[in-house]
Amino acid sequence: MLEKMFGWKRKKEEEEPLPPPGAAPAPAITFGRYSDNNKPLAKVERWNEAEALFKEKKVYESIQAFFDYLRDELADNVQHSPGADGSSGTFVIQQGSKIVRGFYNGQLFEAQVPLAAMPQPSVPVMRRLLEMNFTLYYTRYALKDERLCMLFDSDIATASPSKLYYGLKELATKADKQDDLLVQDFTALLPVETEHVVTIPDEEKEVKYRHLQGWIKETLELIETVDADKYSGGIAYLLLALAYRIDFLLVPEGKLLLNIEKIVDIYFKKDDRPVTEKNQDMVDEFGKLAARSREEVFPYLFRSKYTFSIVLPQAHKTVSDAIYNANQNIGWYKENKHFAIAAKISEYGFAYCQYSYSLPRPLTEFFQLFMMVNYPTFFTELGFPVQYYNPETQEFKQDAILKAVESIEEAWKGKYPDMKMRPDKLKFDSLVSFNQSFTGEIEFLNMETK
């Protein structure tokens, strides 16, 4: 059911059911940032085993269990090859545009990742790396064979699961971001090792580019219809919801992702500037983004494999509070008939959590369903066969939405046995009512694990 509605791939192709005669299969397109807060119980048990084995000084068995924990079979993101002697091995870890390679033996655990090629020495580059070294906890920048690299190593005797996890995470996530920043900022540097990146069809890029332009145009035009001072809060919601939507649905990489993060940072940067000024800065940045041609956007639309989330998991109460606080601000806009703004404010609460936290996978699946209801044209143009909402007639496919909710609950009842929405609480009289009621149910979900 999930495969039919959302297009998620199963682990083994032979396990996939045949589609009904004449039915178009859903495309295998993923959305949103990778979250490692989705380990099944068997993976959690392997982590516990890794820690127990390390305490028993069975370091190599602990490393084996650690890599079993780290590997996501659906993503195929980690390859670990133990040596025949049992006390050595090699590994490969994928994180976005970067590949981490490493080995361990009787003395050392080491991992490295190339950032960029530097054919000629550059003092400004080396100064930048020296300064950034002071911000790192486990890793360091280095120059090796005319290549800038990041390194992580540990004595084998102290290679605990926690040290390996946080060391490799810092290495992988920092390298994935810094390679683009360095190549962008310094003409002396050249990109390296990007062959593993999976390209996507031009047709998919075209759909994403067209909707990028459309969402920005729609949002900026809506902002122009209201007073910038009186509606500064609502305008901020619109702009941030737009940034989060682009991040989740388009899954931008490289410079495009950095642009989105820059827009979000404008608002949340701790300074004394008024909201109206921050709003105008965000509008200006979106204007620059909308002015980009296909040739400037297409290179940053591709698929990558990830091992580590770039954000941290939070207790569900944190998610609930974010949704509650956003929905509390809807009333005034509904009463004054600003329904388009009200709908986006409700979207903002859930989208903020998806962008800012490493969410459990069922919450991301609920968020994708939410977005499929709100942006049906985007999904149908990508080839998804189910349209949950018709924006022209403003009619919902209520039964299909409820079945999708039930399917997500059923798929995850082994880990979240009490995760249940109340279908009678979902409202289908308008998009604003649906958004508010759906996110309200997310707010009260029981996310206690088994």
Mean pLDDT, rounded, for 131-160: 92
Q: Indicate whether 315 pLDDT > 50.
A: yes
How far is residue 300's CA from residue 1's CA, in Å, rounded to a whole number?
A: 31
Give the pLDDT confidence score for residue 4 in this predicted structure. Answer: 45
Banded pLDDT at 25 (limits 50, 70, 90)? low
Q: Report the candidate in 210, 267, 213 with the shortest Cα–Cα distance to residue 239.
A: 267
Mean pLDDT, rounded, for 100-112: 95
Give the pLDDT confidence score for residue 100 in this predicted structure. Answer: 95
Banded pLDDT at 188 (limits 50, 70, 90)? confident
CA angle 431, 433, 439 (to 5 degrees): 100
How far is residue 255's CA from residue 273's CA, in Å, rounded to a whole number?
A: 26
Banded pLDDT at 143 (limits 50, 70, 90)? confident
| 192: Cβ contacts below 8 Å, ≥ 6 apart | 114, 115, 116, 117, 147
pTM for the model: 0.87
User: Residue 445 burial by CB count (10 A; 0-12/13-18/19+): exposed, middle or buried?
Assistant: buried
How far is residue 358's CA from residue 350's CA, in Å, rounded to a whole number?
A: 13
Mean pLDDT, rounded, for 253-266: 92
Of the chain, the percentage scoring pLDDT greater than 70 comes to 94
Mean pLDDT, rounded, for 259-286: 95
Contact 247, 260 (CB under 8 A): yes
> Topology of domain 41-185, per CATH?
Yope Regulator; Chain: A, (3.30.1460)
Domain locations in the chain? Answer: 41-185, 199-304, 306-450
**Average pLDDT of the chain?**
90
Mean pLDDT, rounded, for 287-310: 92
Banded pLDDT at 17 (limits 50, 70, 90)? very low
Q: Indicate whether 198 pLDDT > 80.
A: no
Give the pLDDT confidence score for residue 145 in this predicted structure. Answer: 84
